[in-house]
Amino acid sequence: MKYFGIDRVKEPVGTIPSTAWRLDNSRMVGRGEFRVRLKVIKLEGDNFNQICSASDYNEQKVKEKLLTIVSKRGKLQNPYTESSGIICGTIEEIGSECSLQGFKVGDEIISLTSISGIPVYIDSIKKVDYDYGEIWCDGYAIMFEAAQIAHRPDNVDIRPLMCALDEEGSLLDVKDVLSEKRPSNVAIVGSNLVEMILYSQMVNDYDEGNVRLIAVTDRNIGSYIKENEFMKAFKGLVERVYYVDMARPVESFEAICQEEPVSSMDAIINLEDIQGAESIAAMLVKDKGFLFHTGVKRNYFQSLLAIDCLGKEVVNYALDGYAQGVYDFAIELIKKTEDRLKIIDDVLTHRPKKRLKERAMRNISKGLEVHRIDDFIFMSPVTAELVDTALNVAKYDCNVIIQGETGVGKEKILNILHQNSTRKSKPCIKINCATIQENLAESEFFGYEKGSFTGARDQGKAGYFELANNGTLFLDEIGSLPLAMQSKLLRVLQENSYYRVGGTEQKNVNVRVICANNVPLKTLVDRGEFREDLYYRLNICMIDVPPLRRRKEDVICLADAFIKEYSRKYGIEKSFTIGALQRLEEYHWPGNVRELENTVHRLYISEKEDLIDEGAVDSLLNDSIYDNVVIDIRKQFQSRETIDFSAVIEEQEKKLIAYALKKEKTTRKAADFLNLPQATLARKKVKYGL
């Protein structure tokens, strides 16, 4: 066997270099080794994306992350993805026992296989190329005689060539299978434009352009490359491109099927890692068709399950690894696509920098899309279900109860109900019942005639029902109304008529009543604080708005929307790092959306930097949580002679448990911190909705 670097393994001893945690990357060349002066490293896609996401796509942080990996491991193998990349550089020294036929010192070479088991040392990183996933750097790699390398070709752009070589044997393997099976209809699923060009050219080459090829790509790339630009680059290769939301595979499949026969594709080439792409590919491929996965990590096993679920018999190809002849094939492919790649390169060069942040946002939000209905923004599947319910209820002209904690956005749901109802062109009167004085409640709701009581206006006054006639009346905190007023409200709802205070003329009214309360009205009924008959009159339909802690994904898009809103308001653009958004997402938000908005506002004002990081978020949230663990009951002493002992103890208990959960992260550790049984803490966590 040729030397493959076993002497370079430092830990754990006895493993081979590609699986070892740490290698010896010292400069001296040993037996069976040669040293290469580095010029560029092409990182594998999952490796590069993970590093960029963890570094907020900040170039300096990306560089630091890469240097840290090399420093700790002696090689550039990402410990989270266990993937690496390929290199291009110049041979500096060849060991005396190294059998390196056809190569000499001074030759520029490209590695044809992964450097996951190659010692690497980096002096400095000059540039991070986000579009090609490459880093341009100074340093060296200690290569072994078993490594597959090739001479760097002249007059060929190294960037797309390394992308082609990073695909290793996949391109050539797909070509060989297609040439044998000769499918007539092929679809490429992907969003990396360079990869899509290369595979499209390869598909057309195998049958001299007689194959019908379509492209399915994520619609996010439509924000920086228009369909006419796309088709200009792919002219003569692709018949049609479909922009779809890969995170919603069923919707995407249905959109494609409006123009394509269902499951009409003989073969699918899946280049995409986004969850959902494997399902689109499985639905598009016909029974007994062929499905290629150009890397086994690209949702291969999920695809097998999807095909099984669909009841299809499909031949799956998991393609990865080096193949003989790939180097010459890749060079030929790059030369054929040179003009097309220049078009793509121009598009990528002029892509707005903010797309990098959007890409990172997509990564941390698990591929979920930000949705907007009017000014209601959401990303969570839980909220999507809530919105679907509200849109359905809006069609029916019935009374509705909206329940949810303070600050969850009950008024936003009201707006959806009103704006999507038949009353949308009529008034929507919003009333906070908690602010109405008991002795004025009747005149506020029903109005009064002139002279009906001391201080009454000479011209009288219209009440809430009259103002909302033919429209919607929203009664927030309806549970705070006194029982006597509840009785009068019930009568109006039953008879659709009332009298003004001091009036003798009956007024007819047509109003849809939507009410809200932070405490469930059924609880108030059980306590005797709310009329049961009024409850059932209002409860034709109930919508329960979940707290923010049950729809964590919404935190990301809401925080981003709030910071943009304050940037417009104050004229200074600020934004959050990915780490800051993750910290906000992890917090339990007892005050819900209202607390989140207040927190974002405070961060915007207090932070001097344009980029707000996780340290700033931690500092502010810690101030608001840890410094308020003990309840201040002085105000209660000042306002009353006695204190509700049980209520104070419950509130203190809730704060302590919230503090422990925030501090320790898990119920087990929080229980240990408070010296409680885990079952007891878990039960109280549920009780307080933490």
* pLDDT tens string 147-188: 889 999 888 888 888 888 776 557 777 888 888 888 889 999
Q: Tell me how far apart the alpha carbons of residues 184 and 205 are, in angstroms, rounded to a whole number.
A: 13
Backbone angles phi, psi at 235, to 5 degrees: -55, 130
Residue 635 vs residue 112, higher pLDDT: 112
- What sign for the dihedral angle of Cα 636, 641, 647, 650? positive
Report the C-alpha gap between 63 and 296 in whole angstroms. Answer: 28
Phi, psi of 596 (to 5 degrees): -60, -45
297-317 per-position pLDDT tens digit: 556 677 777 788 888 888 877
- Higher confidence at residue 364 or residue 618? 618
Amino acid, res. 626: Y
On the question of a common fold for 166-349 and 548-626, the answer reads no
For every residue of 484-503, DSSP letters joined together read HHHHHHHHHHHHSEEE-BT-
Query: What confidence score (pLDDT) does residue 272 get?
Result: 81
Cα–Cα distance, 595 to 418 (Å, whole number) = 25
- Superfamily name with CATH number, domain 402-544: P-loop containing nucleotide triphosphate hydrolases (3.40.50.300)
Q: What's the CA gap between 340 and 55, in Å, rounded?
A: 32
CATH number of the domain located at residue range(s) 166-349 in this protein: 3.40.50.720
Residue 319: per-residue pLDDT: 64
Q: Output b/e per residue, 331-367; b: 16+ Cβ within 10 A.
A: bebbebbeebbebbbebbeebeeebbbbebbbbbbeb
Instruction: Provide, rounded to the nearest whole percent, the portion of the chain with pLDDT above 70.
Output: 89
pLDDT top residue among 448 and 58: 448
The confidence score (pLDDT) of residue 364 equals: 47
Kindly state the tokens that stand for 81. Answer: 């993805």
656-678 CB burial, b ≥16 within 10 A, e <16: bbbbbbbeeeebeebbeebebee
Asked whether the beta carbons of 127 and 135 are under 8 A apart, the reply is: yes
- Of residues 328 and 664, more confidently modeled: 328
Angle at 342 between CA 323 and CA 148, to 5 degrees: 20
Measured in residues, the chain has a length of: 690
Q: Which token pair is 94?
A: 């060849």
360: confidence class by pLDDT, cuts 50, 70, 90: very low
> Confidence class of residue 366 from pLDDT cuts 50, 70 and 90?
very low
Q: What is the pLDDT of residues 427-483, one digit of tens each?
A: 999 999 999 998 889 999 999 988 777 777 777 889 999 999 999 999 999 999 999
* Confidence band of 222 (pLDDT split at 50, 70, 90): low
In this prediction, residue 191 has a pLDDT band, given cuts at 50, 70 and 90, of: confident
Q: Using CA atoms in the order 185, 191, 195, 200, what is the torsion angle rounded to 10 degrees?
A: 20
Q: For the chain, report the end-to-end CA distance as a whole number of angstroms.
A: 60
Tokens of 518: 């932070």
Please, which pLDDT band fits residue 320 given cuts at 50, 70 and 90? low
Q: Which of 58, 685, 70 is nearest to 360 (CA)?
A: 58
- Provide the residue ranges of all domains of the chain, joining segments of one domain with +: 6-152, 166-349, 402-544, 548-626, 634-687
- Interatomic CA distance for residues 468 and 473, integer angstroms: 6
Q: Based on DSSP, count helices (H) and strands (E) in the chain, helices before strands.
A: 27, 25
What per-residue confidence (pLDDT) applies to 367?
47
**What is the rounded distance in angstroms from the CA atom of residue 401 to the CA atom of residue 432?**
14
* pLDDT band for position 411 (cuts 50, 70, 90): very high
| 3-state DSSP assignment of residue 208 | coil
Predicted local distance difference test score (pLDDT) of residue 683 = 85
Q: How far is CA 375 from the centre of its chain?
A: 19
pLDDT computed for residue 638 by the predictor: 47
pLDDT winner (highest mean) among 245-254, 288-297, 347-356, 596-605: 596-605
Query: In whole angstroms, what is the distance from residue 482 CA to residue 85 CA?
Result: 71
Contact 276, 249 (CB under 8 A): yes
Using the predicted structure, report yes or no on whether residue 125 has a pLDDT greater than 50: yes
- pLDDT at residue 491, rounded to an integer: 92
Contact 80, 99 (CB under 8 A): no
Of 564 and 626, which is predicted with more confidence? 564
Q: Which residues contact 630 (CB under 8 A, 6 or more apart)?
A: 652, 655
| pLDDT for residue 1 | 66
The answer on pLDDT for 506 being more than 80 is yes
Q: Mean pLDDT: which of 173-182, 342-351, 504-513 is highest?
A: 504-513
Characterize the bridge pairing of strands 371-373 and 376-378.
antiparallel
- What does the DSSP 8-state code read for residue 404? -
**Residue 593 parent element (H or E):** helix 592-606
Tokens 């934004």 belong to residue: 575
Q: Is the pLDDT of residue 635 over 50?
A: no
145-180 as b/e: b if 16+ CB within 10 A: bebebbebbeeeebbbbbbbbbbbbbbbbbbebbee
3-state secondary structure of 232: helix
pLDDT tens for 520-550 read 999 999 999 999 999 999 999 999 999 998 8
Judge: domain 548-626, CATH 1.25.40.10: no
pLDDT for 342: 86
d(CA 387, CA 690): 24
pLDDT at position 363: 45
- pLDDT band at residue 135, thresholds of 50, 70 and 90? very high
Which 3 state secondary structure label does DSSP give 98?
coil
Check residue 323 and give its pLDDT.
60
Alpha-carbon distance values, 416 to 389, 397, 465, 471, 643 (Å) = 10, 13, 21, 14, 41
Q: Is the pLDDT of residue 127 over 70?
A: yes
Number of Cβ within a 10 Å radius of residue 24? 17
Residue 361, pLDDT above cutoff 70: no
Are the C-beta atoms of residues 659 and 686 closer than 8 Å to each other? no
